[in-house]
């Protein structure tokens, strides 16, 4: 979230101001080729200067390079019909895990964790990875009559997340959820935090990690998000150009990550490619996503980790919590806002070590004194 705040001055700069700095990463992995009606001319000009020849454009990487399964999970009730979309690589032994459950940020998709998933499997081959997709980010939620349901409240997003986890568990035939680490980026971090604070996953939640979001700076940044969304370009001529723009603008700093995640952000609209998710439709719920997050984070019923891309401003609650050793804080200055995409190997290693430090299933406890006495042994 620190990168988001650093980007705001360039967003607010007058359109005719000279020396416009390059775009910096914000909450969502966005940017484009053709600007929206209220975008500035300077935005279009900057995109033209970044346009490479067709022969040098990067090509997309498909999901099977990173996950074993792509699942569509249907759940119908009186109030809604849901078709959830997730990516999964099951753990080799569900009883032992670990299962890294990942939730993306606003405007991103489950493929935001693609290279992270590959890095986890490389370092810990027996681990599993489940990457979820929120409504209108890949999952589709409608009324029984087929009409869209516009509800992006944090409570609804939490319910969707828990429903996806339960449906995956049923589909895989798991008696219970494998020992899990829940990893959430930006908005996903807010969702993960609330689930951990409620304790609904019980002892199977070994720990949870929040990537590059802190309550105070997130809410401050949201005040400028509408301006950012209005100024960003609206479409691309091709998915390849979308990938290239994300790299050239440093929205995503790792080419392989961009080739994996950016195609899932786009949908075809005639001859152009537009954003899958219209974030302006979610505006009324923005502040509610992050309000109260710091307190909930500290009350989470599992081990806690906070990964930041820069020296973000911790509020008083988090500063006190850090001094008391209530959570693990890691700053990754070489990454932008999309930590898991910019440095997937490092993020994977940190999460694997986080699991190892907090997994109690492998602990060997000493025998009870009563058991020793019953065996006739002297204590």
DSSP letters for 25-80: --SS----SEE-TT--HHHHHHHHHH---GGG------GGGT-SEEEEEEEE-SS-
Amino acid 31: pLDDT:
39
This prediction's pTM: 0.83
What distance in Å separates the CA atoms of residue 92 and residue 103, rounded to the nearest whole number? 21
Give 224 or 96, the one with higher predicted confidence: 96
Cβ partners under 8 Å of residue 30, min gap 6: 107, 232, 251, 265, 275
Contact 103, 185 (CB under 8 A): yes
Catalytic residue ranges: 186, 212, 337
CA–CA gap between residue 85 and residue 164 (Å, rounded): 8
Q: Which of 43-57, 222-236, 338-352 has the highest mean pLDDT?
A: 338-352
Q: How far is the C-alpha of 30 from the C-alpha of 333, rounded, in Å?
A: 21
CA-nearest of 281, 266, 279 to 186 is: 279
Determine contact, residues 133/104, Cβ cutoff 8 Å: yes
CA angle 245, 251, 253 (to 5 degrees): 95
Q: What domains are there in the chain, each with its CATH number?
A: 1-379 (3.40.50.1820)
Nearest Cα residue to 278 out of 154, 150, 143: 150
The answer to whether the CB of 264 falls within 8 A of the CB of 111 is yes
Strands 233-236 and 34-35, how do they pair?
A: antiparallel
Q: Residue 101 pLDDT more than 80?
A: yes
Asked if residue 6 has pLDDT above 70, the reply is no
Between residues 26 and 164, the one the model is more confident about: 164
**What HEC string does 90-141 produce?**
CCCCCCCCCEEEEECCCCCCHHHHHHHHHHHHHHCCCCEEEEECCECCCEEE
User: Reading across the β-sheet that carries 233-236, which strands appear in turn?
Assistant: 34-35, 233-236, 272-275, 266-269
Positive or negative: CA dihedral 340, 329, 201, 90:
positive
pLDDT of residue 56: 62
Q: Six-digit token pair at 318?
A: 């988090």
Distance CA 340, CA 120 (A): 11
DSSP reduced 3-state for 325 = coil
Q: Which residue has the tokens 């105070």?
A: 216
User: What's the rounded mean pLDDT across residues 280-299?
Assistant: 96
Taking the alpha carbons at both ends of the chain, their separation in whole angstroms is 56
pLDDT of 69 reads 98
* Residue 329 pLDDT: 96
Q: Is the pLDDT of residue 332 over 50?
A: yes
């Amino acid at each position: 979230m620190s990168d988001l705040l650093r980007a705001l001055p360039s967003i607010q700069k007058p359109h005719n101001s000279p020396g416009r700095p390059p775009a910096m990463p914000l909450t969502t992995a966005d940017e484009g080729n053709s600007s929206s009606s209220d975008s500035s001319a300077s935005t279009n000009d900057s995109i033209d200067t970044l346009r490479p020849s067709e022969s040098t454009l990067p090509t997309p990487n498909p999901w099977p390079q990173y996950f074993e399964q792509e699942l569509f999970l249907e759940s119908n009730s009186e109030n809604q019909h849901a078709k959830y979309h997730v990516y999964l690589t099951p753990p080799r032994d569900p009883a032992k895990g670990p299962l890294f459950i990942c939730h993306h940020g606003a405007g991103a998709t489950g493929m935001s964790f693609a290279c992270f998933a590959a890095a986890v499997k490389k370092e810990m081959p027996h681990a599993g990875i489940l990457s979820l997709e929120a409504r209108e980010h890949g999952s589709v939620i409608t009324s029984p009559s087929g009409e869209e349901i516009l509800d992006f409240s944090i409570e609804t997003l939490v319910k969707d997340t828990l429903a996806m986890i339960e449906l995956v568990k049923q589909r895989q035939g798991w008696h219970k959820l494998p020992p899990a680490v829940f990893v959430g980026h930006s908005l996903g971090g807010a969702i993960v935090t609330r689930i951990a604070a409620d304790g609904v996953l019980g002892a199977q939640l070994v720990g949870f990690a929040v990537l590059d979001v802190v309550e105070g700076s997130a809410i401050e940044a949201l005040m400028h998000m509408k301006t950012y969304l209005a100024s960003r370009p609206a479409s691309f001529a091709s998915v390849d150009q979308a990938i290239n723009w994300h790299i050239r603008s440093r929205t995503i700093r790792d080419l392989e990550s961009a080739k994996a995640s950016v195609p899932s952000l786009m949908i075809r609209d005639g001859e152009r490619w537009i954003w899958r998710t219209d974030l302006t439709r979610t505006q009324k719920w923005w502040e509610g996503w992050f309000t109260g997050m710091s307190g909930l984070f500290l009350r989470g019923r599992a081990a806690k980790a906070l990964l930041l891309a820069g020296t973000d401003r911790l509020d008083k609650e988090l500063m006190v919590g850090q001094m008391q050793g209530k959570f693990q804080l890691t700053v990754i200055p070489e990454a932008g806002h999309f930590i898991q995409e910019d440095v997937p190997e490092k993020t994977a290693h940190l999460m694997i070590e986080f699991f190892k430090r907090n997994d109690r299933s492998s602990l060997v406890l000493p025998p009870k004194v009563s058991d020793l006495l019953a065996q006739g042994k002297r204590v």
